[in-house]
Structure 1
Amino acid sequence: MSIFGKIKSAIFGNNGPLGGGILGGSKPAAQPNPQTTQAQPQAAPRAPQPQTAPAQVPAAQPVDVEQVLMGIASRKGGPDLNWRTSIVDLMKLLDLNSSLADRKELATELGYTGAKDGSAEMNIWLHKAVMRELEKNGGKVPAALKD
């Protein structure tokens, strides 16, 4: 799984707003029992039923990214992490490896074109890019986290 995929999964869970996970498991289709199907008489055809409009499926609600992250931070109750501006602290909050190698990989995934040297410029760009990508993937992200 990509580094961004791990971040998204940690925030949205397996069943994010865009169906990021598997809803339950799939079960194999039941096979008819030849002994019972041969012995059963065929039912008479039913009269056609009036067609009804398909039920409207409500749109998935966006995940409030800030609220989720604040909840994770409060549950952990550990050291204060500056996850609002630091990509390293955001990754630590989500129990992800925040090494330079992983941040370089994330930078490549998200299209960073500058030097991948762990500079403040790269890290600030990464944090904002992650927040923008979370929003594109169905998250509700306040402007302060992505600008």
Structure 2
Amino acid sequence: MSIFSKIKDAIFGHKATPAPADRPQIPAGMDGSTAPAPTPTVDAGPVDVEQVLKEMSAAKGNPDLNYQSSIVDLMKLLGLDSSLDHRQQLADELGYTGDKDGSAEMNIWLHKEVMRQLAANGGNVPASMLG
């Protein structure tokens, strides 16, 4: 799985399927059995990226992370490896063409590009994070 996919999955999450007890039952058939109704597909709309990140930060006790503009802090908040090696891999995935030396320029570009990609994949990203 790509590093961007891990970032996206951590923010967008996975659609939960209701537990069997929460599913409506189809009326009894001729044999007297019941079966769970098909699970409806619900389109919850765009994911509010800023809200999700705020909730994750709060759940972790509001760690002092500048995830709004730092790729390193964003990855830490999401529980991902933020090492230079992983950021270089992310840079390759996203098409960064500059020096992959961990410079501020690379890291700023990575954060902005991750936010642009999240927006392109259905995320609602505030303009302040798109840079």
TM-score (norm 1): 0.70
**Structure with larger Rg:** 1
- Percent sequence identity over matched residues? 65
User: For 1:59 and 1:93, how far apart are their aligned partners in 2?
Assistant: 26
Q: Which residue of 1 aligns with 2:129?
A: 145
Cα deviation per residue 1:21-52 (whole Å; 9 max; x = unaligned)? x969xxxxxxxxxxxxxxxxxxxxxxxxxxxx
Cα deviation per residue 1:106-146 (whole Å; 9 max; x = unaligned)? 00000000000000000000000000000000000000001
Q: Which residue of 1 aligns with 2:8?
A: 8
Please state if 1:96 is matched with 2:58.
Answer: no
Unpaired stretches in structure 1, ≥5 consecutive residues: 16-21, 25-56
CA contact (8 A) 2:57 2:63 kept: no
Q: How many pairs are equivalent? A: 109
Map 1:1-147 → 2, pairs under 5 A: 1-15=1-15, 60-147=44-131
- Per-residue deviation, 1:14: 2.1
User: For 1:10 and 1:109, how far apart are their aligned partners in 2?
Assistant: 17
Unpaired stretches in structure 2, ≥5 consecutive residues: 19-40
TM-score (norm 2): 0.78
User: For 2:17 and 2:97, how far apart are their aligned partners in 1?
Assistant: 37
Aligned structure 1 segments of 4 or more residues deviating by more than 6 angstroms: none
CA contact (8 A) 2:69 2:129 kept: yes
User: For 1:78 and 1:133, how far apart are their aligned partners in 2?
Assistant: 25
User: For 1:3 and 1:117, how far apart are their aligned partners in 2?
Assistant: 18
User: For 2:95 and 2:119, how far apart are their aligned partners in 1?
Assistant: 17
